[in-house]
């Protein structure tokens, strides 16, 4: 088997395609959550604390030079935005997994009824045990 045909077989497996679709959807979901946090959640929070944008919070270690370059700062406001985005994504994934687990439990909890011939044989066995 050539390297090209092995690679093609690897790519065409279901798991790889599922993973690729998951990555693409995850990237799109990440953009949606970023927009949600930056444009919907953080502005009201900033308003409540005095109209300050969290992304502008930083601790300057070295001030910028006259040309506006060279600033060294720890941008904890941007980190806070990213942390809130992570918490929203984690909560959304938790809810999705919880719903999936609930659906799977319902499917597993409801076993299929036995076939008619098994029911009939079980009744015959029980009657023979009773001595009838």
d(CA 53, CA 36): 15
Residue 131 pLDDT > 70: yes
Residue appearing with tokens 């001030």: 63
Instruction: Name the pTM for this structure.
Output: 0.51
Which pLDDT belongs to residue 95?
83
pLDDT at 27: 86
How far apart, in whole angstroms, are the C-alpha atoms of residue 131 and residue 35? 75
CATH number, position 16: 1.10.1200.120
pLDDT digits (tens, 9 = 90+) for 99-129: 888 887 776 666 778 888 888 889 999 888 8
Q: How many domains does the chain have?
A: 1
Rounded Cα distance, 103 and 100, in Å = 5
Mean pLDDT of the chain: 81
Chain segment 25-69, per-residue pLDDT in tens: 888 888 887 788 778 877 887 788 777 667 778 888 888 888 878
- The confidence band for 96, taking pLDDT boundaries of 50, 70 and 90, is confident
Beta pairing partners, 70? none
| Cα separation, 92 vs 79, whole angstroms | 20
In terms of residue numbers, what domain contains 125?
Answer: 3-130
């Amino acid at each position: 088997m050539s390297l090209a045909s092995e690679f093609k077989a690897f790519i065409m497996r279901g798991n790889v395609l599922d993973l690729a679709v998951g990555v693409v959807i995850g990237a799109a979901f990440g953009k949606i959550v970023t927009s949600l946090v930056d444009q919907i959640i953080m502005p009201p929070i900033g308003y409540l604390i005095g109209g300050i944008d969290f992304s502008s919070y930083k601790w300057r270690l070295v001030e910028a030079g006259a040309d506006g370059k060279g600033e060294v700062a720890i941008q904890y406001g941007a980190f806070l935005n990213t942390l809130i985005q992570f918490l929203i994504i984690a909560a959304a994934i938790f809810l999705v997994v919880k719903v999936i687990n609930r659906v799977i439990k319902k499917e597993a909890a409801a076993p299929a009824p036995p076939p008619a011939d098994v029911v009939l044989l079980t009744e015959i066995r029980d009657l023979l045990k009773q001595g009838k």
